Amino acid sequence: MYTLIDSADLKAIKKIYEFFPIDGVTTNPSILKNAGTNPMERLKEIRAFMPHGAQLHVQTVSLTAAEIIKEAEHILKELGENTYIKIPVFDQGIKAMKLLHQMGINITATAIYTPMQAFIAAKAGASFVAPYVNRLDNVGFDGVEIARLIHDILTRHNMDTMVLAASFKNTQQVLNLCEHGIGAITASPSVLEQLINHQMTESAIEDFTNDFFSVAGEDKTMLDL
Ligand code: E4P
């Protein structure tokens, strides 16, 4: 399961990258707004920091297919290889996806709330389709269930498209999709950090450390023996 950071906070991205096995970064216009700086400058900083080959997903904001395509070309020129053009699912967006796919450009279809939106985007050539799990939960639907259904539909139709589940509030939502074999998730730094935190683990580490110190001496490690 590709695991991506849904953030444009460079400090938080660097911290997660230091400790976690991460495949890239996703952004959207709201995330870039929260970063409080020039969006393209921030995206370039993220691209410069990430390892070679990492995915960077960047959203277009134009409302016509022709403009979306121009934006996509500009984004790719500025941010280079392995940049995925995120396009919301609406009629002009789907038209742009078809054309960009013919041009060999990587596409992530976003703002997905229904399985059929995902299916049509996949047929139009999207490499990833991004259902908004928590936002679905917030309006009375089961976001995890919809993401699973999309995964099953894409698998059953042998489509070359993965689910990139997005908009998570907690680790349980991530677990439920991981268990289902989903292709990719993107989550905020705080949700990602929670994936490895457990009070019992911290307590076990503390006990092991204290036991070792009591037999080998304070602040010793295996290197001292
Ligand atoms: C990612 O592609 C989405 O834009 C993002 O996950 C939405 O997350 P939010 O619901 O936390 O804003």
Q: Sort 212 into a burial class: Cβ within 10 Å, 0-12 / 13-18 / 19+.
A: middle
Is the beta carbon of 59 within 6 A of some atom in ligand 1? no
Per this entry, what is the length of the chain? 225
Q: What pLDDT was estimated at residue 21?
A: 98
Q: What pLDDT was estimated at residue 170?
A: 97
Q: What pLDDT was estimated at residue 118?
A: 98
Is the beta carbon of 186 within 6 A of some atom in ligand 1? yes
Q: What pLDDT was estimated at residue 121?
A: 98
Confidence of residue 6 (pLDDT cuts 50, 70, 90): very high
What span, in angstroms and rounded, lies between the C-alpha atoms of 95 and 121?
10
3-state secondary structure of 68: helix
Whether 44 is a known active-site residue: answer: no
Residue 177 gets which letter from DSSP? H
CB atoms within 10 A of CB 200: 7
Closest CA to 173 of 193, 198, 148, 140: 148
What span, in angstroms and rounded, lies between the C-alpha atoms of 30 and 53?
25
Give the chain's mean pLDDT: 98
Pairing relation of β-strands 162-165 and 184-187? parallel
Residue 217 gets which letter from DSSP? -
Structure confidence by residue, pLDDT tens digits, 75-126: 999 999 999 999 999 999 999 999 999 999 999 999 999 999 999 999 999 9
What span, in angstroms and rounded, lies between the C-alpha atoms of 210 and 160?
51
Confidence of residue 177 (pLDDT cuts 50, 70, 90): very high
Locate the ligand 1 atom nearest the alpha carbon of residue 166 and give its number: 6
- Tokens in use for 34? 């929260």
Confidence of residue 41 (pLDDT cuts 50, 70, 90): very high
Confidence of residue 14 (pLDDT cuts 50, 70, 90): very high
Task: Report yes or no: 136 and 160 within 8 Å, Cβ to Cβ.
Answer: no
Measured in degrees and rounded to the nearest 5, phi and psi for residue 7 equal -165, 160
Is the beta carbon of 3 within 6 A of some atom in ligand 1? no
Closest CA to 133 of 169, 183, 81: 169
**% of the chain exceeding 90 in pLDDT:** 100
**What type of residue sits at position 26?**
T
What span, in angstroms and rounded, lies between the C-alpha atoms of 123 and 81?
23
Locate the ligand 1 atom nearest the alpha carbon of residue 130 and give its number: 2
Q: What pLDDT was estimated at residue 88?
A: 98
What span, in angstroms and rounded, lies between the C-alpha atoms of 121 and 129?
7
- Catalytic-role residue among 14, 15, 86, 123: 86
Q: What pLDDT was estimated at residue 155?
A: 98
**What type of residue sits at position 97?**
M
pTM above 0.75, yes or no: yes
CA dist list (Å): 8 to 13, 37, 43, 55, 188: 7, 10, 7, 14, 10
Measured in degrees and rounded to the nearest 5, phi and psi for residue 65 equal -60, -40
